[in-house]
Amino acid sequence: MKILITGGAGFVGARLARTLLARGQLAGREIAQIVLADQFAPPADLAAEARVQARTGPLLAQCAALREEGEGGGFDGVFHLASAVSGECEADFELGLRSNLDSTRALLDALRARADAGTHAGAAPTRLVFSSSVAVFGPDPAVPLPAVVADDTLPAPQTSYGTHKLICEHLVADYTRKGYIDGRSARLMTVTVRPGRPNGAASSFFSGIIREPLAGEEAILPVAPDVSHPVSSPRRTVEGLIAVFEASREAYGGRLALNLPALNVTVQQMLDALQAVAGSAVRARVKPQPDARIAGIVANWPRGASAARAAGLGLQPEASFEDIIRQYIADCAASNPAALRGMA
């Protein structure tokens, strides 16, 4: 089985690749090769793996080759994670359209060419999981944002990023209806705790207020402690993508996107969990410093999400934010102990 992961060098994509390699199989079939398409080279551990092939460059530029490859047999499965993020799309409208809309369309058309070619008559259309986002939801005068957004809440994107994700959900659905692909869209929650550095995204602090104190650094908290948000750990997020891939179409249910499980947690609960797991000294490194701009952005985000369809696939959120912090600590202990130098 040959699998394509777009955005495969990114945080979620690389973790998905590692998980798939460790499993060795997907949907009951042995994984022979994983192609990581990304504008950046993959992490060293993945680059060194015999079953991994890296293709570095913009996805849009890679799609012509993907199309030819598809006509020769192509991929047995695709996880389409590549995306310009929210802040990039707001700063550069053209970049967002190109990276998120044009690239997805080109990828879907490359997969459609396989179905159209007829050389694989009888072969099932390529199964594809598209990583959409909770960012499709937002408030609108015509549709107030519910406290908890459900699978079937009316999307009202407040960013170009959310708009592109929603549009791609519907492209995936229509290419699926036509039989060109077997597509499924899963809306990711805010993935936390992300390793690395603050990235300037308005949501960056959701990871920063845990990651920086554990590394012995101060972290700014720009919003009120009663801000609530739907989050998911990296592990549960990857588990969700795989489960959506492996689901039968009947179990997936229709063609519309589903929400992945969310732990709906307040900032106060996140801080309490940090204190419980890592102690008061670590917790004390979080410094409230209200930022009206960030608070204003966050006020347009859902305070929580439900995921009934994902639950039907056996997916559940973490039981507590403490578990999410412990997962991050375990990951760091294995790969990057310096990230924990702030712990006693």
Note the residues at the interface with its own copies (CB under 8 A): 93, 97, 105, 112, 140-143, 151-154, 156-158, 160, 163, 166-167, 170-171, 173-174, 177-178, 180, 253-256, 258, 309
Task: Provide the 3-class DSSP secondary structure of residue 83.
Answer: coil
**What is the DSSP secondary-structure string of 210-241?**
HHHHHTT--EEE-S-TT-EEEEE-HHHHHHHH
CB of residue 315 vs its own copies: minimum separation in angstroms? Answer: 15
Q: Has 252 been annotated as catalytic?
A: no
Q: How far is the CB of 340 from its own copies (least distance, A)?
A: 41
Residue 227 CB neighbour total at 10 angstroms: 21
Q: Which is nearer to its own copies, 137 or 205 (CB)?
A: 137
- From CA 149, how far away is CA 242, in angstroms rounded? 22
d(CA 93, CA 89): 5
Structure-derived torsion over alpha carbons of residues 261, 267, 269, 271, reported in degrees to the nearest 10: 120
Residue 262 CB, shortest distance to its own copies, in Å, is 17
Only one residue has tokens 């079939």, namely: 29
Cβ neighbours around 340 below 10 Å, total: 17
Minimal distance, residue 248 CB to its own copies, in Å: 12
Question: Which CB atom, from 79 or from 137, has the smaller least distance to its own copies?
Answer: 137
- Give exposure, 40-76, as e/b (b: 16+ Cβ within 10 Å): eebbeebeebebbbbbeeebbebbeebbebbbeebbb
Say which DSSP state 108 is in: H
- The alpha carbons of the chain give a radius of gyration, in whole angstroms, of 20
CB of 245 to its own copies, least distance (A): 18
Token pair for residue 100?
């998120």
Q: Distance (Å, rounded) from C-alpha 18 to C-alpha 170? A: 29
Q: Measured from the CB of residue 254, what is the shortest distance to its own copies in angstroms?
A: 4
- Taking the least distance from each CB to its own copies, the nearer of 46 and 247 is 247
Closer residue to its own copies (CB): 38 or 151: 151
Tell me whether residue 105 or residue 120 sits nearer to its own copies (CB atom).
105
Selected catalytic residue, list 161, 180, 252, 328: 161
Q: Which CB sits closer to its own copies, 19 or 153?
A: 153
| Structural contact between residues 88 and 70, judged by C-beta atoms closer than 8 angstroms | no
Catalytic center residues: 161
